[in-house]
Structure 1
Amino acid sequence: MKLIKTMSSEERESLSVPEDVDFRITATQQALASCTGAVLTSLLVTPLDVVKIRLQAQQKNTPKCYLYCNGLMDHFCGCKPQDLQRQWYARPGHFSGTMDAFYKITKTEGISSLWSGLSPTLVLAIPATIIYFVAYEQMRLKLKHRYNIANPGTSGQPFWIPMFSGGTARIFSVTIVSPLELIRTKMQSQKLSYYEIRRALKMLIKQDGIGALWMGVIPTLCRDVPFSAIYWTNYETFKKLFWTSNQPSFSKSFISGGLAGMVAATITTPFDVIKTHQQIQLGEKTLYGGKSKTMVGSFYDTFWEIRKSHGVRGLFAGLFPRVIKVAPSCAIMISSFEYGKIFFNRLARKNHVANISTKKDLMN
C-alpha cells in the first residue's frame, strides 16, 4: 500500500494501477463485507431487543405476536398461549426497567438468554443486508461515474445520488425478502413442514393472488425507503466533513454512520410508529387468519388514528429507544462495511503489484 502511495501518476499508468479514490471492490467482496457487518450488528444489538420484548410481554397475559428488530430489519413472530411458559419471550419476570431486566435475566437465566431468538433473525438479516448494501454501492458508483462523465472536471457526487441509490436499494431488499419473511413466520408460528408450507402458499396464492406473498410490504416501504434515502445522504455528507482524505477510516465511518443513523431515525420515527401499528395488526391477521378480527388500516387511517388518540407526541412515541438502537446499529454496520472495502482493496492492489513485478522479472 505504501509503495503505491509513493508512486507518481506516470509510474501508476506504467503499472496499470487504477487511481481509485472510492476503494471500489467487486460485488462478491461487497457481499462479504456487508455479511460481516450484519452478523456483528445482530450480535451486539440483539440483547437490547430481547430486553424490550420481555418488558413488553410482562404487560400482557396472552400476547398474540410481537416485533423483533436488530436495528437492520424487523419481523413479527407469533405467540401461542399454550407454549407461553416454554418460550423465551414469555418467561416469568418482574422487571422495573431496562437495567433491572438486564440484571435479572443475566443472573437467573444466564447471559446467553440475552441472545435468545438470534438464529431466526440472522436467517433474514444476512440476505437482506447483502442485497441492500451491494445494490446501494453498485448503483451509487455507476451513477457517480455517469455524472462525472457528463460533467468533466468534477470528481464528487451530488446529494441526489446517495439519496436515490439508498431509497432504491431498500425497495429491492424489502421486495425480495418479504416473501421469505412470510414463509418463515408461517413456519415458526405453526410448526409447519416444508411440504405443509408449500400447500399453504399454494392455497394463499389461489385465494388472494400472487400479491399475497408481499402482504405488509407497503407499510415497511413507507418507513424504510425514506429512512434509507435520508441516512445515505447524511452519511455521504458527514464523510466529506470528517474524512481528511478519500481513504475510508473505521473510526470516522463509525462516527459518520452513527450520526447519520441518529438523524434518519429521528426524522422517520412517525413512519416507524405507524408501521409498527400496522405490522402488529398484520401479524395477528397473518398468523391467526379467520380467528383474528383485526383489520389492517391504511397508512393514512393509521396516521390519523394515532394523531387523534395521542396527539403529535404519539407519532414520536419510542423516539429515544429507537435512536439509541438504530444509531449504533448503523455505526457498526457501515464501519464494518467500509473496513471490508479497505481490506479487499489493499489485497487486490497488493496482488496487482505482485503480478506486475512477476511479469517484469520474466521479461528481464
Structure 2
Amino acid sequence: MNKLTISNISSNVDLDDPRFRIRPYQQVIASCTGAFITSVFVTPLDVVKIRLQTQQKAMLSNKCFLYCNGLMDHLCPCANGKMPEWMRRNGKFNGTVDALVKISKTEGIISLWSGLSPTLVLAIPATVVYFVSYEQLRLYLKDTYNREFKKRGTSVEQPFWIPVLAGGTARIWAASLVSPLELIRTKMQSQKLSYAEITEALKTVVKYSGISGLWMGLSTTLLRDVPFSAIYWLNYESIKRIFHTSQQTFTFNLAAGAVAGSIAAVFTIPFDVVKTHRQIEMGEKEIYSDKPIRSSNTWSIIQRIYHQNGLRGLFTGLTPRLVKVAPACAIMIATFEHGKRFFQSYNARKANEFEIERNVHLLQHKPSSTE
C-alpha cells in the first residue's frame, strides 16, 4: 500500500490535485484570516491615500469667487467654507510620511484607523466571495480545458487566459456585493464623519438617486478592480509557473504576491484616483446641493485631472497605494495558499485513513482458503 504522508502532500503533490482538492467551506476559512490581518494593517495607508486624493480634488475645484458667502462654499475649497476640517488643521500634505505624521499629531493616532469597522465588514464577505469564486472558476475552466485536450491524447498546463478570466469575473461579483460599504468607507476616510452624519448622507443619496445611488462609483471601481485582478492573477500564476521547481513556501508566496500586486497597482492607479473623486462628490453635489445631481463620468474626470495636474495628477496616492497593496496582496495570498496546503494535507490524511480502513475491512471479510 502506497501510504501518503502529510509531508509528501505538502512538497510533492499539486495543490490542484482533484483527489485532495479543498472544499469551498475550507476555502472560506483559508481566506478569512488574511482578510482580518490585512484590513488592520493597511487601513492607515488607505486613509492617507484617500486624504491625498481628497486634497487634490479640493485643489482641482477652483470655482471660488473673490470671497466666500456661505452659499457656494460646498463647490470651492475656501478656507472658511465646507472643506474638510482636517484640511484646515493640517494644511497641505507633502507626501505619505508627512500625511501620517500630521494626521497623528492633529487628530490622534487612532484616526489613522478611520473606517476600520466598515473595512472589516467589507473585507470578510468581499474576500470570501472573491477568493472562493476565483478558485472555483479557475479550477472549473482548467479541468474543462484539460479534459478537451486529454480526449486528443495530450495534456496541457493551465493557459494564461484562465487566471485572467477567473480573476476579473470574481472581482465583478465581489465588488458589486460590497460597493455600498465601499462608499461609506471612502466617505469616512476622506473626512472625519460620525455614523449619524454618514447615515444622513446615505439617506440623502437614496432620496435623490434611489437605491442605485448606493452603488455610485461602481463603474469606476470595476474599471480599477477588474483589470487589477486580471493583471494580478496573471502575474502571480506566471511567477508560480516559472518557479514551479522551487518549494513554494509561505515566504515564496509573500514575495510573489507582493510583486504581482505592485505591478497591478501601478497600471490601475489612475482609475483609483477617479473612483475616489466620484465617491467624494457624493458630499459635494448630492448632499449639500438643493437639487442633487449625479457625479461626473469617468472620462470627464480623467480629462479634468490631466488638464489641471498633468499625468502626475492621475498617479496621486501611488506611493501609499503601493505601500498598501504590496503587503496586502502578499499577506492575503500567502495566508490563503498556506490554508489551502493545510486543508489539502488534512484531506489527504483523511483519504489515506479511509483507504487503510477499507483495506482492513476487505482483509477481515475476505473468505479464508482452507483447501
TM-score bracket, shorter-length normalisation? 0.7 to 0.9
Q: Return the letter of the residue paired with 1:26.
A: R
Give the conservation status (yes or no) of the 8 Å contact 2:232–2:263.
yes
In the alignment, the residues of structure 2 paired with residue 257 and residue 204 of structure 1 have an alpha-carbon distance, to the nearest angstrom, of: 38
SS in 2 for 1:151: helix
In the alignment, the residues of structure 2 paired with residue 354 and residue 22 of structure 1 have an alpha-carbon distance, to the nearest angstrom, of: 14
TM-score (norm 1): 0.73
Instruction: Tell me whether 1:139 sits opposite 2:137 in the alignment.
Output: yes
Give the conservation status (yes or no) of the 8 Å contact 1:284–1:292.
no
Instruction: Tell me whether 1:273 sits opposite 2:270 in the alignment.
Output: no
SS in 1 for 2:121: helix
In the alignment, the residues of structure 1 paired with residue 121 and residue 310 of structure 2 have an alpha-carbon distance, to the nearest angstrom, of: 38
SS in 2 for 1:243: coil
Task: Give the C-alpha shift of residue 226 in structure 1.
Answer: 0.9
Partner of 1:3: 5
In the alignment, the residues of structure 2 paired with residue 19 and residue 117 of structure 1 have an alpha-carbon distance, to the nearest angstrom, of: 37
Q: Return the letter of the residue paired with 1:45.
A: V
Partner of 1:309: 308
Q: Return the letter of the residue paired with 1:219.
A: T
Which of the residues 10, 17, 22 maps onto 1:20?
17
Q: Return the letter of the residue paired with 2:299.
A: Y
Q: Return the letter of the residue paired with 2:342.
A: F
Change (3 A) 1:130 1:291: farther
SS in 2 for 1:317: coil
Q: Return the letter of the residue paired with 2:130.
A: Y
Partner of 1:228: 229
The C-alpha deviation readout for 1:264-294, integer Å capped at 9, x for no partner, is: 11111222222222222135445x2645867
Partner of 1:338: 337
Which of the residues 189, 192, 204 maps onto 2:206?
204
In the alignment, the residues of structure 2 paired with residue 179 and residue 108 of structure 1 have an alpha-carbon distance, to the nearest angstrom, of: 29
Q: Return the letter of the residue paired with 2:331.
A: I
Task: Give the C-alpha shift of residue 358 in structure 1.
Answer: 2.9
Partner of 1:120: 118
In the alignment, the residues of structure 2 paired with residue 108 and residue 301 of structure 1 have an alpha-carbon distance, to the nearest angstrom, of: 35
In the alignment, the residues of structure 2 paired with residue 19 and residue 310 of structure 1 have an alpha-carbon distance, to the nearest angstrom, of: 47
Give the conservation status (yes or no) of the 8 Å contact 2:48–2:320.
no
The C-alpha deviation readout for 1:25-70, integer Å capped at 9, x for no partner, is: 1111111111111111112222333455677899999xxxxxxxxx
Give the conservation status (yes or no) of the 8 Å contact 1:179–1:214.
yes
After TM superposition, list the pairs within 5 Å mapping 1:27-42 onto structure 2: 27-42=24-39
Partner of 1:325: 324
Which of the residues 28, 43, 47 maps onto 2:44?
47
Q: Which runs of 5+ in 2 are unaligned?
A: 59-80, 189-193, 365-371
Give the conservation status (yes or no) of the 8 Å contact 2:52–2:317.
no
In the alignment, the residues of structure 1 paired with residue 229 and residue 16 of structure 2 have an alpha-carbon distance, to the nearest angstrom, of: 29
Task: Give the C-alpha shift of residue 217 in structure 1.
Answer: 1.1
Partner of 1:360: 359
Change (3 A) 1:249 1:148: same
In the alignment, the residues of structure 2 paired with residue 259 and residue 301 of structure 1 have an alpha-carbon distance, to the nearest angstrom, of: 32
In the alignment, the residues of structure 2 paired with residue 51 and residue 310 of structure 1 have an alpha-carbon distance, to the nearest angstrom, of: 19
Q: Return the letter of the residue paired with 2:272.
A: D
Give the conservation status (yes or no) of the 8 Å contact 1:131–1:173.
yes
Calculate percent identity across the aligned residue pairs. 50
Q: Return the letter of the residue paired with 2:219.
A: I
Q: Figure out how many residues of one structure are paired with residues of the other and give that number.
A: 324
The C-alpha deviation readout for 1:106-127, integer Å capped at 9, x for no partner, is: 7898866654542221011111
Change (3 A) 1:303 1:96: closer
Partner of 1:75: none
Change (3 A) 1:182 1:264: closer
Instruction: Tell me whether 1:150 sits opposite 2:152 in the alignment.
Output: no
Partner of 1:167: 168
Give the conservation status (yes or no) of the 8 Å contact 2:90–2:106.
no
In the alignment, the residues of structure 2 paired with residue 155 and residue 49 of structure 1 have an alpha-carbon distance, to the nearest angstrom, of: 41
Task: Give the C-alpha shift of residue 181 in structure 1.
Answer: 4.7
Deviates more, 1:289-298 or 1:49-58: 49-58
Give the conservation status (yes or no) of the 8 Å contact 2:261–2:325.
yes
CA RMSD of aligned residues (A): 4.0
In the alignment, the residues of structure 1 paired with residue 112 and residue 212 of structure 2 have an alpha-carbon distance, to the nearest angstrom, of: 36
Change (3 A) 1:24 1:292: farther
Partner of 2:258: 258
Give the conservation status (yes or no) of the 8 Å contact 1:238–1:256.
yes
Q: Return the letter of the residue paired with 1:349.
A: A
Which structure's CA Rg is the greater one?
A: 2
Q: Which runs of 5+ in 1 are unaligned?
A: 13-17, 62-80
In the alignment, the residues of structure 1 paired with residue 129 and residue 236 of structure 2 have an alpha-carbon distance, to the nearest angstrom, of: 19
Partner of 1:218: 219
SS in 1 for 2:158: coil
Partner of 2:241: 240
Q: Return the letter of the residue paired with 2:259.
A: L
Partner of 1:129: 127
In the alignment, the residues of structure 1 paired with residue 258 and residue 345 of structure 2 have an alpha-carbon distance, to the nearest angstrom, of: 25
